[in-house]
Amino acid sequence: MSTISNEENNTSSYMKRLNGSLILSLDIIKHTFLAKDLNEVLRGVNDNLKKVLVKRLEGYHLRVDECYLLKDITFKDLPALLMAAFFLRIKKKGRRLSFSKKVFIPLTNLCRNYCKYCGFRKDPWSGGRFLKPNEVLEVAKLGEKYGCHEALFTLGEKPEERYVEARRQLASMGYKNTIEYLRDMCELVLSKTNLFPHSNPGILEKDELEILREVNVSMGLMLENVSMRLCGKGG
C-alpha cells in the first residue's frame, strides 16, 4: 500500500508542476501579445539580452556568443524574445501564412535502418511491404479528391540491402532497387493526377538524386545529427 501511495503522491506532485508550467507559459504568451509595443515587454529584461534583441531588430546579425544568450533565456525574459521574433516575422514575411495540402503515400515501411524512435518501419515478418502501383495511384487520387496538391512519398531507406523479401517484392514488380521503383511511382502520380511528388527516400548518391530530380518538385531528408562522436563506440 505504501508503494502505491508514494507513486500516487509522485504523480500528483508531477502533475501540479506540469500544470503550473503550462499556466505560466500561457500567462507569458498572453502578456506578450497583449503588450502595446516591444518597449513594454523589454521593461525589466536584463541589459545584455535587451542589447541583443534590439541589435537584431535593427537588422544586424548576431555573433555566436550573443546567440548563446538566447539559448539560456529564462521564463521571465521569454516575453521579450517572443515579441522580438513576432516583430521580425511581420517585418520579413508579413502576416500572410501559406501551406500546401499533401497526401502521404507510404511506398514501403521496410527499411535497412533500426532507428529506435521510429514507429513507421516494419520487418517483413511483421507486415512490412511495398505498395503496389495500383495502391499508390489509389491513395494519390483520394488525396487529389480532397484537395491535396502534393504527394509526399514516405519510405524506408533501401530495404533491399537488408532483406531478401524486399528484393523479392521489388523483383516481382520488375525492379532491382527501391529508388528505381520510387522514380516510376512519382512519374505515375505526375502523369495520372494533378499532384506534385515530394520524396523522402533517405540518404542518396548523386546519380540517385539526379534520377529522382526529373519527377520531384522537391525532396527531403530527416537529418538527426552530424556528430562524428556518435559514430564511435558507445555513441
Whether residue 43 sits in one domain with residue 109: no
Residue 209 belongs to a domain with what CATH number?
A: 3.30.750.210
Helix (H, G, I), strand (E, B) or coil at 231: helix
Domain span holding position 30: 12-93
Give the start-end residues of each E strand in 140-190.
Answer: 150-155
Helix (H, G, I), strand (E, B) or coil at 104: strand
In a domain, 224, yes or no: no
Whether residue 79 sits in one domain with residue 32: yes
| Distance from C-alpha of 120 to C-alpha of 141, rounded to nearest angstrom | 23
Position 167 scores a pLDDT of: 97
pLDDT tier at 90 (50, 70, 90 boundaries)?
confident
Does position 21 have pLDDT exceeding 70, yes or no? no
Q: Work out the mean pLDDT of the chain and round it to a whole number.
A: 83
In a domain, 233, yes or no: no
3-class secondary structure for 83-100?
HHHHHHHHHHHCCCCCCC
Does position 229 have pLDDT exceeding 70, yes or no? yes
Whether residue 79 sits in one domain with residue 135: no
User: What's the rounded mean pLDDT across residues 194-210?
Assistant: 95
pLDDT tier at 24 (50, 70, 90 boundaries)?
very low
pTM above 0.75, yes or no: no
In a domain, 149, yes or no: yes
Contact residues for 158 (Cβ-Cβ < 8 A; gap 6+): 112, 177, 178, 179, 202
Whether residue 117 sits in one domain with residue 190: yes
Helix (H, G, I), strand (E, B) or coil at 234: coil
DSSP-derived letter for residue 204 is -
Residue-wise pLDDT tens digits, 25-38: 445 445 545 455 66
Whether residue 176 sits in one domain with residue 158: yes
| Distance from C-alpha of 7 to C-alpha of 148, rounded to nearest angstrom | 47
- Could you give the strand order of the β-sheet that contains 218-219, starting from the edge strand earlier in sequence? 102-108, 150-155, 196-200, 218-219
Position 47 scores a pLDDT of: 85
- How far does Cα 155 stand from its chain's mean position? 15
Which residue did the predictor score with more confidence, 75 or 150? 150
Whether residue 185 sits in one domain with residue 133: yes
CB 42 within 8 Å of CB 50: yes
In a domain, 223, yes or no: no
Position 41 scores a pLDDT of: 65
In a domain, 7, yes or no: no
Task: Provide the domain count of the chain.
Answer: 2
pLDDT tier at 18 (50, 70, 90 boundaries)?
very low
Whether residue 111 sits in one domain with residue 75: no
Pairing of the two strands 150-155 and 218-219: unpaired
In a domain, 50, yes or no: yes
Which residue did the predictor score with more confidence, 145 or 233? 145
Whether residue 199 sits in one domain with residue 115: yes
pLDDT tier at 12 (50, 70, 90 boundaries)?
low
Whether residue 127 sits in one domain with residue 60: no
Whether residue 112 sits in one domain with residue 79: no
Residue-wise pLDDT tens digits, 95-139: 888 888 999 999 999 999 988 888 899 999 999 999 999 999 999
Q: Which of 40, 68, 93 is the last residue of a domain?
A: 93
* Residue 220: closest CA among 157, 128, 176: 157
Does position 2 have pLDDT exceeding 60, yes or no? no
Whether residue 126 sits in one domain with residue 39: no
Whether residue 168 sits in one domain with residue 144: yes
User: What's the rounded mean pLDDT across residues 11-28?
Assistant: 47
Which residue did the predictor score with more confidence, 95 or 19? 95
In a domain, 226, yes or no: no
User: What's the rounded mean pLDDT across residues 14-30?
Assistant: 47
